[in-house]
Amino acid sequence: MMHTFAVPFGILFCAALSFAQNFVSLMPKKNLSEHWTVEGKTPAEAWTFRDGTIACSGQPYGFLRSKKVYRNFVLRAEWRFQEGWEPKKGGNEWPNAGFFIYAGPIVDGWPTSLEVQGYFGEAGSLFGVRGGKITGAKRGPFVKERPAFGAWDKYEITSRDGKVSVVLNGVLVNEGTDAQPREGNVCLQSEGWPVYYRNVAVKQLP
């Protein structure tokens, strides 16, 4: 006879609360400089914080770099683009943004890093930037189920000892191993179109 055991609700609630409490928000209380530095060509005034959202006008290109360095972690964040973009006739380019992880020195405008793509048409992609490398990860328009342009997307990016997994809107869409580098800052990127970020938080792993 199989026995089942009910886990008290209080234990489940406390476990969930403990997990949530281990995330540290990178959303400022007043000023972006609390957690971020502005880098790249984008002037500081192009980045703003209002009503719980980090926004960037998108031009010229640039990024925010976290003041803290991370190695093993879970990064959660949401992003969306400003509505109103329309594709050019005969073209397939989408507004671009994204997240750098393991970010190091800047080379030709971008940090040596891995990018978890925010480019609308290739969300879920994971690849090396400026000498960064990862094995087995995918890049391209392989995620077919996409929200309407201008809606919020959500990432959960997990890094552990050089293995990176990417969960997009609750679905595991990408994984890679042997990341190089495997330690650095996290960054919010802006590349050509107004973009917004919210609920950015990091949980450090052992």
Q: What is the mean pLDDT of the chain?
A: 90
Q: What is the pLDDT of residues 97-117, one digit of tens each?
A: 999 999 999 999 999 999 999
- The answer to whether 202 touches 69, Cβ cutoff 8 Å, is no
Distance CA 163, CA 115 (A): 14
Quote the CA–CA distance of 199 and 204 in Å, as a whole number.
16
Q: Is the peptide bond before 60 cis (omega within 30 degrees of 0)?
A: yes
Of 5 and 118, the structure prediction assigns the larger pLDDT to 118
pTM for this prediction: 0.87
120, 81 Cβ separation under 8 angstroms? yes
Distance, CA of 108 to CA of 169 (rounded, Å): 32
pLDDT of residue 202: 98
pLDDT higher than threshold 90 for residue 69: yes
List, as one string, the DSSP characters of 61-115: -EEEEESS-BSSEEEEEEEEEPTT--PPTT-----EEEEEEEE-SEETTEESEEE
Whether pLDDT at 50 is above 80 = yes
CA distance 157 to 175: 10
CATH number of 26-204: 2.60.120.560
User: For residue 93, is pLDDT > 80?
Assistant: no
Q: What is the pLDDT of residues 163-206, one digit of tens each?
A: 999 999 999 999 999 999 999 999 999 988 999 999 999 999 99
12 pLDDT more than 50: no
Lowest-pLDDT choice from 43-47, 57-61, 87-91, 184-188:
87-91
Residue spans of the domains in the chain: they are 26-204
pLDDT tens readout for residues 136-164: 999 999 999 999 999 999 999 999 999 99
The pLDDT-based confidence of 20 (bands split at 50, 70, 90) is: low
pLDDT band, very low/low/confident/very high, at 11 (cuts 50, 70, 90): very low
Residue 89 — very low, low, confident or very high, per pLDDT cuts 50/70/90?
Answer: low
